[in-house]
Amino acid sequence: MSIRKNKQPRIRRTPEESRANILSSAERLLTEQGPQTLRLADVAKEAGVANATVLHHFGTIDGVHTALMERMIAELVEKVMAIELTEDTEVSRAQALTTLFEAFEQKQASKLAAWLELTHQAGRLTNVRQVVRDVTRKKFHHQNVPEDVVEDVMLVCITLALGVGLFGQTLSEMLGKPPSRAKEMALSVLMLGLRQLEAERKG
Amino acid sequence: MSIRKNKQPRIRRTPEESRANILSSAERLLTEQGPQTLRLADVAKEAGVANATVLHHFGTIDGVHTALMERMIAELVEKVMAIELTEDTEVSRAQALTTLFEAFEQKQASKLAAWLELTHQAGRLTNVRQVVRDVTRKKFHHQNVPEDVVEDVMLVCITLALGVGLFGQTLSEMLGKPPSRAKEMALSVLMLGLRQLEAERKG
DNA sequence: AGCGCTACTGACAAAAATGTCGATAAGAAA
DNA sequence: TTTCTTATCGACATTTTTGTCAGTAGCGCT
């Protein structure tokens, strides 16, 4: 046993960097280990800092939770707003839907949503309506479809994207199918169903 | 202040009754307050018994969690297996789907599933595949559709039912629509989409 | 009534999680 | 180099949560 104390030199970050480091670690824990591991010691360890450092930047462990939610929500909104839908062809629509589904599974946004739902914090998503409105206007302005119909369609798409993002992979594998099968099937059914719905509306 | 100690007489139940009482209370907490309130003291208080009583029956708080999961899973499986699908008309199919969707929202099965998914306990659902197989055989034996196609269809239906059950109400209300709107839209799209899928397969 | 079994309980012990505080050291600026 | 600011940390204090134990009480049985 060496007597020498071999302490690592401290890493001193800017407050912004430090907060980002901690939140990234927390996000990793949330998506890889589940919400119950979002404890002070776990987060601090994952971020490679002392417990007190986490509290220095966020006040309480709840502060970490809140900040994490806000960061993940902002990321998701950005991703959704970036979806292209310049023309309204089948192909373009399929691409947009695929991107939407991926947005909800890639950054583990579905897990965030489930966490909010289970903890009754969904109220934090105050801007969902506004985002949907914005998307409706910006992406669908060139079509002659009533806004509330567009909103209904988006409601379905988001609901299904969340379901697929959260459960799709696990369910697919449970049934002995490739992990993306649920997503593929959902996309097919959604495309076909929406086309029919549109046909009915027009006809 | 009265000096007299006014203790309630003890309620002595059979072990089965007592376990059921505790699990029912835990289920109520899970669905109404979220998983983080499934703590020993909370469960005991909700059940109206002492902390030690809960431990007497379940050993640890984790034992309560496990037992609760198993009970809710069994309930759900029973509900799903009870779905009628004697003939394959549009009406019958719509009824079956409606029942399925309701099974996933009524008994808060979606919340259970989300809890399992977030806590990486989905492995507990070892019998999902068997259930799907059973349903496939029992409910669809009269059709001439390959079994794996039926399984794909069930995969979509379950995924969407879970998504709607967990997020449907909240999302609908966020968009200023009646709480059942997401479910209705999902059902419509699903029915239309499945019909088209079938048409494509045949044609 | 008396007895045995055990579900039940309060009080206490142990463990885990959160939060506080004074000291330290990294980096910028003088 | 010296000074100043403050991000960082270890040690400790507090609170929360879980688990133990010995005794109590409800209920069936004789």
* Average pLDDT over every residue of A132-136: 89
Burial (0-12, 13-18, 19+ Cβ within 10 Å), B6: exposed
| The pLDDT of residue B6 | 61
> Which among B119, B129, B182 has the least Cβ separation from residue A34?
B119
Name the pLDDT band for B16 (thresholds 50, 70, 90): very high
Q: What is the pLDDT of residues B112-140, one digit of tens each?
A: 999 999 999 898 888 889 999 988 888 77
What percent of chain A has pLDDT above 70? 97
| Cβ neighbours around B151 below 10 Å, total | 19
Those nucleotides of strand D lying less than 7 Å from any protein Cβ are 6-11, 17-22, 25-27
Q: Note the CA–C1' distance, B70 to C5, in angstroms.
A: 30
Rounded CA separation A95/A159 (Å): 18
Token pair, residue A39, equals 């404890």
Q: Residue A194 above 50 pLDDT?
A: yes
Per-residue buried b or exposed e for A71-91, using 16+ beta carbons within 10 Å of the residue's own CB: bbbeebbebbeebebeeeeee
Mutate which of B121, B167, B190 to test chain A, going by most A C-beta atoms within 10 A? B167
| The pLDDT of residue A67 | 97
Determine whether the distance from the CB of B61 to the nearest atom of strand D is below 7 Å.
yes
What percent of chain A has pLDDT above 90? 73
| Cβ neighbours around B119 below 10 Å, total | 17
Q: What is the pLDDT of residues A71-127, one digit of tens each?
A: 999 999 999 889 887 777 889 989 999 999 999 988 789 999 999 999 998 988 888
Q: What is the pLDDT of residues B26-66, one digit of tens each?
A: 999 999 999 999 999 999 999 999 999 999 999 999 999 99
pTM of the model: 0.92
Rounded CA separation A83/A100 (Å): 7
CB spacing of A189 vs B185 below 8 angstroms? no
| The pLDDT of residue A139 | 79
Rounded CA separation B109/B115 (Å): 10
C1'-nearest nucleotide to the CA of B13? C7
CB spacing of B155 vs A175 below 8 angstroms? yes
Token pair, residue A163, equals 């379901």
On average, the pLDDT of chain A sits at 91
Q: Note the CA–C1' distance, A65 to C19, in angstroms.
A: 16
